[in-house]
Chains A and B, each alone.
Chain A
Amino acid sequence: MKQQAWLSRVSLAVAPIIVALLLTGLLVIAVGGNPLQALTEVLRGGFRDVASFAGVVNFWIPLTLAATGLIVTFTAGLWNIGVDGQITMGAIFASAVALSWNLPGPLLVIAQLVAAMIGGAFWGAVCGFLKTRLGVNEIFGGVALNQIASLATLYMISGPWQPPEGGSVRGSPPFPPESLFPVISDEFSVSLVMLIVVVISLVMIGLALRGTRWGLSLKATGQNARSALLLGVPVNRSALSAFIVCGMLAGMAGAFRTQFAFTSPSIRPLVSGGIGFLAVLVALVVARRISWLPLVTFAFSALLGGSAQLKAVLRLDVALVGVLQGVLVLTILLFNGLRTRLESRTSDRSGTSATPTPSVSGSEAVHG
């Protein structure tokens, strides 16, 4: 009996991956490729050599930061779609420091990170303010704020930060050398500082959610804001703080993107690279189990890292990896739902669902 339950748990965890691979494999066949070859290329792609592995890690860092932030807002029952804009704002603030401040190297790096946190937090706070004070749903607010952040990037690039050679919207001039984040080696160009920042963020958020009044307040607010209020939780302040903390982490992800996303450190349009949206998917998949988060983000990063190979070797479209990710997320959520149903069959059907995801309104769970 016990063993059987364990088996079904494992198979429910592995099954979505297999289903997702099968579905994508069908797609590969449909466009005339060899699915097995495609799979091996993707899996190998991120680990071909030191440089490609560095690429994976450099994607993993901002993705993990943003997803960690999202766990905070999800715990508070908030769909913080605006995280992409918070990344962008972080990038803009960091760029402002990098392009105009004169500080010795290490200080300038720290200043960029601090500025990025302020920028992201500011953008998160705006979303939180709209939500808690004016009753604007955070999804709509977030989408609008994402747009505004993109426009702000374009404006800065084509205006104040126009490169000396003149009118282009391709990007700002390269950041000065002192502003660059030191890397471990030329071969393995990964920032040790940022790795440490990621680990610290994960550990701190994990501990804070579990062991502090703040974390408990967020959880209470997310599960039932009305009751939380009656139990003495300042629900609006909780929600706002969740946005701010998420914004800080997303902002650092933005600063990181300016440093490592492009051939030379600079800010360009679409600096977030859609990492915010990917992070939302990750947060959906891990729900509130933060210990799973670094693994899941790593898997996503490896898949993306390997995707470059698809085009180079197999002449398949890179978008296939996007499809694989999408299908993977869908199947995982599907199987999560299935598991909840199965579990509730064996216990109590009228109970609440086992995988907590934020309710859309952020305050009221729909019964039934």
Chain B
Amino acid sequence: MDIELRHIHKRFGPVHANNDINLTFLGGRIYGVLGENGAGKSTLMKILSGYQPADSGSILLDGTEVDYRNPQIALHYGVGMLQQDPLDVPAFTVLENFIFGAIGARGYRGHAAARLLREVCSRFGFELDPDTPIASLSIGGRQQLEIARLLALGVKTLILDEPTTGISAEQKTILFNALKSLAKNDGLSVLLVSHKLEDVIALCDEVAVLRAGKLVGTRALPATPSELVALMFGQILEPAQRIAVNLDNAAEAIRFENVTLRSKRLQVKDFNLNVRAGEVIGLAGLDGSGQELFLRACVGLAKPAVGHIHFEGRDMTGASFRQFLAAGAAFSAAGRLEEGLIAGLTLTEHTALMTEHHPVIDWGRARQRTINRIQTYHVRGTPESQIEQLSGGNQQRMLMALMPESAVLLALEQPTRGLDVDSARWIWQQLMVRRDIGAAIVFSSPDLDEIVTYSDRILVFYAGRVTEIPDARQATIDQLGRLIGGHNEEVPR
């Protein structure tokens, strides 16, 4: 199916999110949609998939103008979208969501649905257990489910708004090959919004680049990452540098002593670790391999079944999250609108929650503090914006801006999720400033490059098993890729 966008405009108050966009997407091709945070990518994709109407302009499918009033009608035409933050029903299981999402379109039930789900999953290399409740699935898992659901519905245009990359290299190859073959043989077109330029280069035939609401150009691939960066930002960025610090005399921030962590699906057994002030520890692993559990255990959101956790030398085994928070720990989760930010609250209200501890809130001061954060973290939004009105990357910046300044330990799940290359680098600069004044950082990321670049030490999780790489400088991305896939090998010491 060929899609043509003509003179698309969309404003949100003063923000011109889409400014006269003209684009054509041909059937059977795979397109990358690129642009800095807040460029208007999600907005354009939502317009194309019926989640929000354009102010003006038209959408033509195979030459005929369409006007769809909601996502169901768009789906009926064959346009389906994976949202940046998946819209599923947390209380339902994987299978129930799969079935529920089909009602009104094609309606299938029970065994047939389970079979269809299995088929789609094996074709695309997804590992989804039909009976897992959504609430206990990782963001990546939820996105896989959503992709499976859309493909099972037979969409002709698949829009992927920043699918997370918490899958192994093999899984990624399977997925990409499956998408390519669908494009080539069945005429599926795919629009991929992503900040992962390697993925874009590996998958796409062509890219379109947006900047500040305008289309600044299209380009056929192949291209190098730096060429794409130049298109996006109008300049070439220096590669990220980091200065190692001397940790010999550093105090202990958190120590795990023979700790066993258990969740419904896996356990991390008999685990010992000593994190020092100023140290950066990267957690590598496929989604749901235990790193999420470990990060939560660092701040009292998961309690050890066995063993002890010492925070700055104090035994805090079994302490609550609020106690950890008071002691100087901070946490940010990957599912930012479920865990961390509150849809319906303004930016100022978020700041006030973190900083205003007197019974009566000084709104003037809270607002000023918000303005400071907005400026320091380059958040595109106003103090009065509600958090869900921000673009995904800007939500992430706000989340980072909310981390308490004097934290002893920052436990960060995918700290740069959804950030463009430039902002990701910039967030890391901020994090390194905090490290330099003595904060320990423990972070997970699906991006092995990020882990190798910023960590002092790396922990690799595979099905709850932990392998330590004591010196991150010795690690290579290839080796990490094999380790997270469960291939044992000698770890360099």
Contacts and interface: CB of A to CB of B under 8 A. Distances in A.
A187 interface: no
B422 interface: no
Interface in B92-148: none
Contacts of A298: none
A211 B70 CA distance: 38
Interface string A333-368: 000000000000111111110001000000011111
A180 B360 CA distance: 37
B87 A367 contact: yes
A230 B335 CA distance: 12
Given A230-B321, A367-B87, A345 B53 contact: yes
B477 interface: no
A356 B344 CA distance: 9
B342 A223 contact: yes
Given A216-B349, A366-B89, A227 B359 contact: no
A231 interface: yes
A70 B480 CA distance: 55
Given A216-B361, A232-B325, A367-B88, A227 B354 contact: no
A224 B353 contact: no
Contacts of A223: 342-345
Interface residues of A, number: 33
A233 B51 CA distance: 33
Contacts of A349: 50-52, 70-71
B352 A347 contact: no
Contact of B360 (A211, A227, A348, A366): A211
Nearest to A228: B342
A216 B353 contact: yes
B489 interface: no
Interface string A127-164: 00000000000000000000000000000000000000
B104 to A, nearest CB: 12
A365 B344 CA distance: 12
B296 to A, nearest CB: 11
A352 B339 contact: no
Contacts of A219: 344-345, 349
Contact of B342 (A213, A224, A351): A224
B357 interface: yes
Contacts of A348: 12, 46, 51-52
A229 interface: yes
Interface string A195-211: 00000000000000001
A288 to B, nearest CB: 10
B350 A231 contact: yes
Contacts of B220: none
A212 B388 contact: no
A232 B52 contact: no
B354 A232 contact: yes
A366 B341 CA distance: 16
Nearest to A356: B344
Interface string B350-375: 10111011111101000000000000
A214 interface: yes
Contacts of B345: 219-220, 223
Interface in A203-255: 211-214, 216-217, 219-220, 223-224, 226-234
A364 B91 contact: yes
Contacts of B325: 232
B363 A211 contact: yes
Contact of A213 (B12, B52, B358): B358
A350 B331 CA distance: 27
Interface string B325-348: 100000101000111111111000
B313 interface: no
A368 B100 CA distance: 11
B83 interface: yes
B322 A214 contact: no
Contacts of B360: 211-213
Contact of B343 (A211, A213, A352): A352
Contacts of B321: 229-230
A352 B337 CA distance: 12
Contacts of B88: 367-368
A230 B354 CA distance: 10
A356 B343 CA distance: 11
B16 to A, nearest CB: 15
Contacts of A350: 46, 51-52, 83, 87
Interface string B64-88: 0000011100000000000100111
Contact of B353 (A226, A233, A346, A368): A233
Interface in A45-86: none
A305 B2 CA distance: 65
B217 interface: no
A230 B339 contact: yes
Contacts of B357: 213
A352 B344 contact: yes
B431 to A, nearest CB: 18
Nearest to A365: B343
Contacts of B451: none
Given A217-B353, A349-B52, A224 B343 contact: yes
Interface of A: 211-214, 216-217, 219-220, 223-224, 226-234, 345-352, 356, 364-368
Which 6 residue pairs spanning A and B have beta carbons closest together?
A231-B353, A224-B342, A223-B344, A368-B87, A348-B52, A227-B342
Given A213-B357, A216-B353, A219-B345, 16 more contacts: A211-B363, A212-B360, A216-B349, A216-B356, A220-B345, A226-B339, A230-B321, A231-B342, A231-B354, A231-B402, A345-B69, A347-B12, A348-B12, A366-B89, A367-B86, A368-B87
16 contacts: A211-B363, A213-B356, A213-B358, A213-B360, A224-B337, A224-B341, A230-B321, A230-B340, A233-B353, A346-B53, A348-B52, A349-B51, A350-B52, A367-B89, A367-B90, A368-B89
